[in-house]
Structure 1
Amino acid sequence: MQNQCGDVTMRVMEYESQRAQVRREDMERRQRRVQELELEEKCTAEDKKLLAKDEKKYKLQMRKQNKLMHVCLCVLLNLAEEISIEKKMVNRKMPTLLLQLLDRSQEDLLLGVLTFLKKLSVFEENKDQIAVPQTLNNLVRLAQHPNARISLLALRLLFNLSFDERVRAALVESGIIKLLVDLLKNPPFRHIVLRLLYHFSMDDRCKSLMAYHRDGMIMLLQLVVHFPEPRVGKDLVALMVNLAAHARAAEVIVQSGLFPAIVLRVLKHRDPLLCQVIRHVASHSGVLEQMYELLQSEDVRMAKWMHEFVRMAVCSVDNPDMLVEVLGTLANVTLEEVPWAELCEPGLGLLELLTRLLVPSFSEDDLVLECVLLASNLACCPESAQHIAGSRLPALMQDLLVEKREDEEIVVQLLFAFHCLLHHDEVREYVLQETELAPCIMRFARARNPLVLEYATALLQIVATTNDAPGAEDGTPAWVEQIKAFRFEQHNPEWCRCVTRELSGGTGMSPGGAYGGYYDDHEGSGGEDEEEFAFHWAGVDAADPRDLAKRDWANQDFAKLSHSSRWQT
């Protein structure tokens, strides 16, 4: 470095690169001349002999130059360990010089070129210079080289480049998926091939191509089943997680004949990532039916697999990663033939687990969401819904509605769970007696999210049509009357504000409503959120739509307003 050896070596590389280009063009010109003479039938034996002599001389020159270039590359590669020297090489177009050598045949030179390119490819600006279509095609060709070292280096360089989505798309066009599937059978290549396949599995098109190569999918499943350690390697299981998220690939996994072995491995080793594979497979409705029939068949003898998953969930309370995956798998099994009532028996402890996890501020949001989804499955079954009615779950779910009011996804799932519960007459009566669901739901009937509004409105309709809805001891109306008054106010806000202002002597609306005290202990005063969920009625008489007939309609303000208001109860 002190004697500028790097600069001299770079000049040799640049000179020899230009020299090789001139020789190649001259050789191609001579070959074209002979071909033209052959077409014109003017080519003599002397011309062919001269061409053969020139080709032999050209090969000898290239062989000598390859040795020189290899030595230069070794020197520059060692000097490039200093990052400042490497930057100087890049500024002198080192990546371009290296790419011109990829079509050489000498193995030592190719090893040096690929090693140098792999070192340069970790930088974004170098990657953009390397990842051109011609280079990618050359690398795919070198990945099939008979020399295993050259093939491995080409795959590692492709792995560095495959972080770019555009590079992956270009590689797919070159047919690299089939090549990787074939190389998967060769143990020395398996580690880097799995990493490359994982990168490609992030694109839906590539997942379809992998699912098309059924042999490759079977090979991956065999690697999972026979993995020597309790936990499957992260590269392999991450690839399987991505593939299981694709419907066609999930179908191949179920039909492979190895899926029951994967379920047994999860039950034995409690691997959360492998359980996530099962969870993703169960998330596809068509594949779920095949999966359930397979596990229930007499050949497999795993009819009680869901019972085992419940026991595994109960034992995984201290392992949140595993618990989320197990509950998520159970929540995805939305088939009618599932014996949810058996799973709710006291001996298994499913309801006790959900009751414990749904205590407000006890679990993380992702765990709460899976518990609510599972509770919705239980609520859809009449027998298991009765078990819920005899537990603390309805009250806990109502408390969660208040606590998670800002999380729209959890709110929607909670509203759906209540919607399923209220479809059963005996459960509906219990929920309305033991909870304050109606004012809680009326709060979300003012939400801006259309999905939240849809479920809240549907729930209010169910409650409003309940004939045996109980009244409160303090004389407030039953839920039916409260909901009618609320809906009247909701559809006629301007008229209600005018009535309230008149009744309060023109001083504006009262800060509290006739039914607005339910959330007073949970929220601060004066905020926009409180205004959204408060019930803006000034007195009990105004809350009753039947009292409207007693109004003094001679008042011009009321008469004028009545023409523009929508009268709905």
Structure 2
Amino acid sequence: MDSEDLLEKLLEAFYDEKIEPKKEAAKKILGLAARQENLELLISHEQFLSTISRTLRDEHKKSTELCLYLLCVFYIVSNYLEFHQILSEHQIGDITMKIIESQIQRFDLRYAELMEKQGQPQQLQELRKLNLMIAKQEKLFYVGFTILMNMAEDPIIENKMRKRKIITFLLRMLERNNFYLLIVTLLFLKKLSIVNECKLQMVEENCIRKLKRFFSADNNVLLQLSLGVLKNLSFDTEARLQIEQNGFIPDIVKMLKIPNYRFVSIVLLYLLTLDDKIRLTFGFTECMTLVVKLMLHFPEPVIGKELIALAVNLSTSSRNVDHITEQEFQQIVQRAITNSDILLFRFVKGVIENSTNPEVQTCAKGFVRHFMKLLVTQGKEEDIKFEIIGIMSALDLQENWIKLLNEPFIEFLHNNLAVGMAEDDIVLETMMLVSSITSQQNAAEKLFKSRILNALSQVFVEKGDDDEFVVQYLYCLHQFLFHKIGISQILEQDEILIQIIQQLNDKNKKVQQMSEEVLDILREYDQELCEKIKEIKFTEYNQLWIEQLNEQELMLQDGGDMAFEDEYGGNELDPKMWDSDND
């Protein structure tokens, strides 16, 4: 008998009222479907899909075995993308969802019955029945969820599944122990977790807590998949908080030691370090130590962006950077200089700014000449210069600045501050560097002689609408005022004084505060400044009125008629306006 005749005979069995013939027919049809050459025959048959889908819908509660055979047929078909539309037309996704929901309800009912019989003679018998049912269910769940996962390639179908509680059903499967069921469950969750609505639902239904068990289990596949789910979920702030609260961070940090888990662990840890509070937790782990070792032994000249991004985030916390030894820091700086690694320079800056270890500053000072050479070298990338300027600003060089301020370096500062010559970020960072240099008196005097104050004033005029530039400009002036030459130079320039006083009424509180601090210092050395401030404030508050007075004065000087017409249109009052209405 050929396959077509056999199929016709098998389909007739599904019209039998008894379950056994249907089970036998379903088993043989599954055998046919398992052979790829028969798939075209099965799909093209007019009654095949409609018959077995109807049987599955109507009979799935009567026989788990029959249900499993028929689901396995659809499982095979669902592996082919071109057949998904046909499966949708026969509502296979809807039927499968109903079967899964029904089986979960059966388990809950049987488990509740077992709990009621705790301590009774029937408990052991009920437990055996429950375990037998679980074994059958897990096969059915594996096949059912695989069908749904395959069909979820269509976003519209995936969204329908989400509304039908697919995530709730999947999270229930994480409580099971069947290895293959757990694999398909985690794969499905990982796929769904990239959709924002699904991600939020997973977080709300405590998916993260349920993944904790796979970090203690000795199973590489489940652990790898769990890390992938956590990575996708950790784009959400609440998810990151739950990961930290459930104690995942030490476990994930340990994964850095294992090559197979290293990349996904680095990405996951990077996402976790986006939150300041969570970042502090890393200080109690060996994360910084492991990350530094990975950077020093990275095979490529430029460190991978995922690894260096994690390192940069960690470097913003002193609790983390204090794990770095002097020798490691020296090797990192040397590697950054050798390979011109932009982001590695950013990491170096973070370490210098946040380390409480004085040896870090000492070590970094040994590379100052190298840093300056990179700054003044033509053709270097602007991003590298930006990072190195930040490093120089963070170094506590004090009396060393006067030795470092050579002509090329001063010219470099002026070029960066010249309007239109550099990007805003570099201009701002250069202003911060100037503030740092002026902490030393001799260096400040040398900068004054180079007319750096004029360059800063021009930056203020150009960028006066940007509060960040204004605050930094005022801070530069504040630093200059710690030296007599700075006080005398600023007091001699009325334009700068006006700029400072005008900021007293700025909406930004930080700008107001810096203006007050600068003026407070200047008042101590120039008593007349108080009167100047009052005069400038008076002029500013009454600007419109003063302009009108000036206009009138000009008209008088030109001999113009200054008589004011009254609101009735004439220069003289009309006598009739006083007459009584009765006259």
Q: State the TM bucket, normalised to the shorter chain.
A: 0.7 to 0.9
CA–CA distance in structure 2, aligned partners of residues 128 and 411 of structure 1: 42
CA–CA distance in structure 1, aligned partners of residues 468 and 300 of structure 2: 38
C-alpha contact (below 8 Å) 2:326/2:360 kept by paired residues: no
C-alpha contact (below 8 Å) 2:316/2:350 kept by paired residues: yes
Q: Tell me whether 1:332 sits opposite 2:394 in the alignment.
A: yes
The corresponding residue for 2:361 is 292
Q: Which amino acid aligns with 1:33?
A: K
Q: TM-score, normalization: structure 2? A: 0.72
Shift of 1:180: 0.5
The corresponding residue for 1:532 is none
Shift of 1:269: 1.3
CA–CA distance in structure 2, aligned partners of residues 128 and 494 of structure 1: 54
Shift of 1:192: 0.9
Structure of greater Rg = 2
> Match for 1:103 among 159, 166, 175?
175
The corresponding residue for 2:186 is 114
Shift of 1:222: 0.4
Give the 3-state SS of the residue equivalent to 2:91 in structure 1: helix
CA–CA distance in structure 1, aligned partners of residues 532 and 170 of structure 2: 76
Structure 1: which 5+ residue stretches go unaligned? 38-46, 296-301, 468-479, 511-569
Shift of 1:428: 5.7
C-alpha contact (below 8 Å) 2:114/2:127 kept by paired residues: no
The corresponding residue for 2:134 is 62
Q: Which amino acid aligns with 1:281?
A: V
C-alpha contact (below 8 Å) 2:500/2:519 kept by paired residues: no
The corresponding residue for 2:494 is 438
CA–CA distance in structure 1, aligned partners of residues 201 and 537 of structure 2: 63
User: Counterparts in 2 of 1:46-445, with a 5 A limit?
Assistant: 47=121, 51-213=123-285, 215-253=286-324, 255=325, 257-284=327-354, 287=356, 289-293=358-362, 295=363, 303-315=365-377, 318-334=380-396, 336=398, 339-346=400-407, 349-426=408-485, 431=489, 437-445=493-501
The corresponding residue for 2:91 is 7
Q: Which amino acid aligns with 1:437?
A: Q
CA–CA distance in structure 1, aligned partners of residues 376 and 428 of structure 2: 17
CA–CA distance in structure 2, aligned partners of residues 55 and 503 of structure 1: 101
C-alpha contact (below 8 Å) 2:174/2:182 kept by paired residues: yes
Write out per-residue CA displacement over residues 146-175 of structure 1, whole angstroms, 9 at most, x where no aligned residue.
332221111111111111111111221211
Q: Which amino acid aligns with 2:423?
A: E
Q: Percent identity?
A: 27
User: Which stretch shifts more, 153-162 or 410-419?
Assistant: 410-419
Write out per-residue CA displacement over residues 299-355 of structure 1, whole angstroms, 9 at most, x where no aligned residue.
xxx65312211112223764121111110111122464x511121134xx3212111
Shift of 1:201: 0.7
C-alpha contact (below 8 Å) 1:316/1:323 kept by paired residues: no
CA–CA distance in structure 2, aligned partners of residues 500 and 5 of structure 1: 82
Shift of 1:190: 0.9
Write out per-residue CA displacement over residues 247-267 of structure 1, whole angstroms, 9 at most, x where no aligned residue.
2222223x4752222111111
Shift of 1:90: 2.5
CA–CA distance in structure 2, aligned partners of residues 280 and 140 of structure 1: 33
CA–CA distance in structure 2, aligned partners of residues 239 and 380 of structure 1: 33
User: Counterparts in 2 of 1:28-47, with a 5 A limit?
Assistant: 29-30=113-114, 32-35=116-119, 37=120, 47=121
**Matched pairs, number:** 469
C-alpha contact (below 8 Å) 1:441/1:459 kept by paired residues: no
CA–CA distance in structure 2, aligned partners of residues 505 and 237 of structure 1: 64
Structure 1 pair 441–90 and aligned structure 2 pair: CA distance change class (3 A):
same
C-alpha contact (below 8 Å) 1:237/1:274 kept by paired residues: yes
User: Which stretch shifts more, 134-143 or 217-226?
Assistant: 134-143
Give the 3-state SS of the residue equivalent to 1:122 in structure 2: coil
Q: Which amino acid aligns with 1:14?
A: K
The corresponding residue for 2:578 is none
C-alpha contact (below 8 Å) 1:445/1:452 kept by paired residues: no
Give the 3-state SS of the residue equivalent to 1:400 in structure 2: helix
C-alpha contact (below 8 Å) 1:211/1:249 kept by paired residues: yes
Which structure's residues are more often helix, by fraction? Answer: 2
Shift of 1:65: 2.3
Structure 1 pair 179–444 and aligned structure 2 pair: CA distance change class (3 A):
same
Give the 3-state SS of the residue equivalent to 1:361 in structure 2: coil
CA–CA distance in structure 1, aligned partners of residues 107 and 522 of structure 2: 89
Write out per-residue CA displacement over residues 185-224 of structure 1, whole angstroms, 9 at most, x where no aligned residue.
11111111111111111122221211111x2221111011
Structure 1 pair 439–154 and aligned structure 2 pair: CA distance change class (3 A):
same
Structure 1 pair 168–498 and aligned structure 2 pair: CA distance change class (3 A):
closer
Structure 1 pair 404–196 and aligned structure 2 pair: CA distance change class (3 A):
same
Q: Which amino acid aligns with 1:312?
A: L
Give the 3-state SS of the residue equivalent to 1:2 in structure 2: helix
Give the 3-state SS of the residue equivalent to 1:258 in structure 2: helix
C-alpha contact (below 8 Å) 2:345/2:387 kept by paired residues: yes
C-alpha contact (below 8 Å) 2:365/2:397 kept by paired residues: no
Q: CA RMSD in A?
A: 3.3
Structure 1 pair 380–70 and aligned structure 2 pair: CA distance change class (3 A):
same
C-alpha contact (below 8 Å) 1:275/1:325 kept by paired residues: yes
CA–CA distance in structure 2, aligned partners of residues 323 and 392 of structure 1: 23
The corresponding residue for 2:33 is none
Structure 1 pair 509–67 and aligned structure 2 pair: CA distance change class (3 A):
farther
The corresponding residue for 1:41 is none
CA–CA distance in structure 1, aligned partners of residues 458 and 540 of structure 2: 32
Give the 3-state SS of the residue equivalent to 1:166 in structure 2: helix
CA–CA distance in structure 2, aligned partners of residues 200 and 509 of structure 1: 71
CA–CA distance in structure 1, aligned partners of residues 555 and 234 of structure 2: 63
Structure 1 pair 115–459 and aligned structure 2 pair: CA distance change class (3 A):
closer
CA–CA distance in structure 1, aligned partners of residues 544 and 195 of structure 2: 68
Shift of 1:497: 8.3
CA–CA distance in structure 2, aligned partners of residues 494 and 26 of structure 1: 83
Q: Which amino acid aligns with 1:291?
A: V
Write out per-residue CA displacement over residues 252-304 of structure 1, whole angstroms, 9 at most, x where no aligned residue.
23x475222211111111212111112122223x62744214x1xxxxxx653
CA–CA distance in structure 1, aligned partners of residues 156 and 540 of structure 2: 72
